[in-house]
A and B are shown apart, each in its own frame.
Chain A
């Protein structure tokens, strides 16, 4: 090797090998000091580099292919770290290529370049760790706030359970049915969680209706019915302006769950899609659950009868498209009915 090339190899911390057999390599350059410790006795002879540097076992297959196809551009092995005679880390990288028809393997001690790379990555990863910690903290706190919101909402729902005939299990089922509908409609997780809590609050305004009307066994007079209808507005007033998304949705549902698809509902006589989707969903699942369960004043209807009745209400009372979605989810709805039953369920417990 001429002096210039030797000097270049020394400056770049390079050792140049030519492949003799599949396993053996002959050193063409001078032996750099850092390599002597690793090659030991074999400096003067051909070396089995995969024995000296086990890391190369994962590189040789690719290198061999590179040499076989006479590639002249270098293929690099990736960095690996060895420990030298002083216990210091030595970062090495191999490159394979062909020169003048010979299979060449370069071995480079990356030295300062590696230390700079480590320092750079150390900084970046410490930054990532800090970012992860902060995101984690924000996530935990958001979750805590959401749990509190849910607790408040559940307490509100339980209030209505004390006043009217509806049981805790009914209001819980309404939430679960509505959430299943939201999921099937492709709502995002937040909206699904919200309707699970918000739908059960649809009748919360009944808390403002006098007992003589709310608990009356017989048919309501026209005046009494007008008072009863006010539970939608009372509920909405109780829940609105909170700036809490779940309560905003609950206010919307409370206000609009008696609106009908053809505009004949109350309190505003909204038509079709002017009625918020959350309220249209709640109307469907509330009617379904009320029909298929027994109440003090009525017997339970068999499911098919209830579905036939509801089908006859589509277009006039219920949103026909949402009813189709509901019908497609019947196995899910039945499971909810089975899992959430009335036994001992006075208050809602999620």
Chain B
């Protein structure tokens, strides 16, 4: 059994808690309820004959009132940065968070999740921003916690990066 700690990071209200709730409990709530502090969930799964136990750290979104404590990232095996492409501000926050994580813990498996793909017509990311995200070299997954799109794939993308690392 491989145990891994995964942190979900991103601006506030991008859907980190909803993605975990969808993945762990197959549930979704429409109302925005802010997260304060850290919530930890567990998920066990089997991928390519290998058992994984994932500790999913749902870390309160960054804004003017709270910031991510570097200590939260200790022992992390990989991370997911969630962006709400309907809110350009969340893209800027994602880039800043990614830089902070790289500076704090170095290069680790990561995934960028473009959440709220159920309202893709309202997305506002432009080509340059997409290109910039691609340049980081991490998978970019479109997700919708609401419609359960891409959620499992988002975690699988992270697991595949560990598989590649460990041959």
Instruction: Flag if A117 contacts B71 (CB, 8 Å).
Output: no
A126 to B40, CA, bound (A): 24
**A61 beta carbon closer than 8 Å to chain B:** yes
CB-CB under 8 A from A295, the residues of chain B are none
CB-CB under 8 A from B87, the residues of chain A are 132, 136
User: At the interface with chain B, which of A5-13, A50-58, A159-167, A301-309?
Assistant: A50-58
Instruction: Flag if B71 contacts A59 (CB, 8 Å).
Output: yes
CB-CB under 8 A from B32, the residues of chain A are 125-126, 129
Once A58-B71, A125-B13, A128-B12 are accepted as A-B contacts, the answer to whether A81 and B33 lie under 8 Å apart by CB is no
CB-CB under 8 A from B40, the residues of chain A are 54-55, 80
A-B contact count (CB 8 A): 64
Size of chain A's interface in residues, with CB distance under 8 A?
24
Main secondary structure of the interface of B (DSSP, over half): loop
Instruction: Flag if B34 contacts A91 (CB, 8 Å).
Output: no
Across the two chains, which residue of chain B brings its CB closest to A59? B71
Instruction: Flag if B36 contacts A121 (CB, 8 Å).
Output: yes
CB-CB under 8 A from A114, the residues of chain B are 36
Q: Out of A55, A59, A118, name the residue touching B34 (CB < 8 Å).
A: A118
**B167 beta carbon closer than 8 Å to chain A:** no
**A73 beta carbon closer than 8 Å to chain B:** no
Min distance, Cβ B165 to any Cβ of chain A, angstroms? 22
CB-CB under 8 A from B69, the residues of chain A are 58, 78
Instruction: Flag if B89 contacts A132 (CB, 8 Å).
Output: yes
**A215 beta carbon closer than 8 Å to chain B:** no
**A185 beta carbon closer than 8 Å to chain B:** no
Instruction: Flag if A121 contacts B65 (CB, 8 Å).
Output: yes
Once A121-B65, A132-B89, A136-B87 are accepted as A-B contacts, the answer to whether A78 and B74 lie under 8 Å apart by CB is no
A117 to B12, CA, bound (A): 15
Across the two chains, which residue of chain A brings its CB closest to B12? A125
CB-CB under 8 A from B88, the residues of chain A are 136
**A124 beta carbon closer than 8 Å to chain B:** yes
Min distance, Cβ A84 to any Cβ of chain B, angstroms? 13
Once A61-B74, A124-B65, A136-B87 are accepted as A-B contacts, the answer to whether A80 and B37 lie under 8 Å apart by CB is yes
**B106 beta carbon closer than 8 Å to chain A:** no
CB-CB under 8 A from A151, the residues of chain B are none
Q: Considering the complex, which residues of chain A in the window 72-122 have a beta carbon less than 8 Å from any beta carbon of chain B?
A: 78-81, 91, 114, 117-118, 121-122
Query: Could you mark each residue 75-102 of chain B with 1 if its beta carbon is under 8 Å from any beta carbon of chain A, else 0?
Result: 1000000000001110000000000000
Across the two chains, which residue of chain B brings its CB closest to A83? B39
Instruction: Flag if B38 contacts A80 (CB, 8 Å).
Output: yes
CB-CB under 8 A from A81, the residues of chain B are 35-39
Min distance, Cβ B42 to any Cβ of chain A, angstroms? 9
**A274 beta carbon closer than 8 Å to chain B:** no
**A23 beta carbon closer than 8 Å to chain B:** no
Instruction: Flag if B38 contacts A78 (CB, 8 Å).
Output: yes
A29 to B12, CA, bound (A): 38
A79 to B32, CA, bound (A): 20
A126 to B64, CA, bound (A): 13
Instruction: Flag if A128 contacts B37 (CB, 8 Å).
Output: no
Min distance, Cβ B163 to any Cβ of chain A, angstroms? 24
A118 to B38, CA, bound (A): 13
A57 to B74, CA, bound (A): 8
Once A78-B69, A125-B13 are accepted as A-B contacts, the answer to whether A57 and B38 lie under 8 Å apart by CB is no
CB-CB under 8 A from A59, the residues of chain B are 71
A61 to B69, CA, bound (A): 14
Once A78-B69, A125-B63, A128-B12 are accepted as A-B contacts, the answer to whether A58 and B74 lie under 8 Å apart by CB is yes
Of the A-B pairs whose beta carbons lie under 8 Å apart in the complex, a sample of 14, sorted by A's number, is A54-B40, A57-B75, A58-B71, A58-B73, A58-B75, A59-B71, A62-B71, A78-B38, A78-B72, A79-B36, A80-B40, A117-B36, A118-B36, A121-B36
A binding-site residues for B, Cβ under 8 Å: 54-55, 57-59, 61-62, 78-81, 91, 114, 117-118, 121-122, 124-126, 128-129, 132, 136
Task: With A121-B34, A121-B36, A125-B34 given, name 11 new contacts (CB 8 A).
Answer: A55-B38, A57-B75, A59-B71, A79-B36, A79-B37, A81-B36, A91-B37, A122-B33, A132-B89, A136-B87, A136-B124
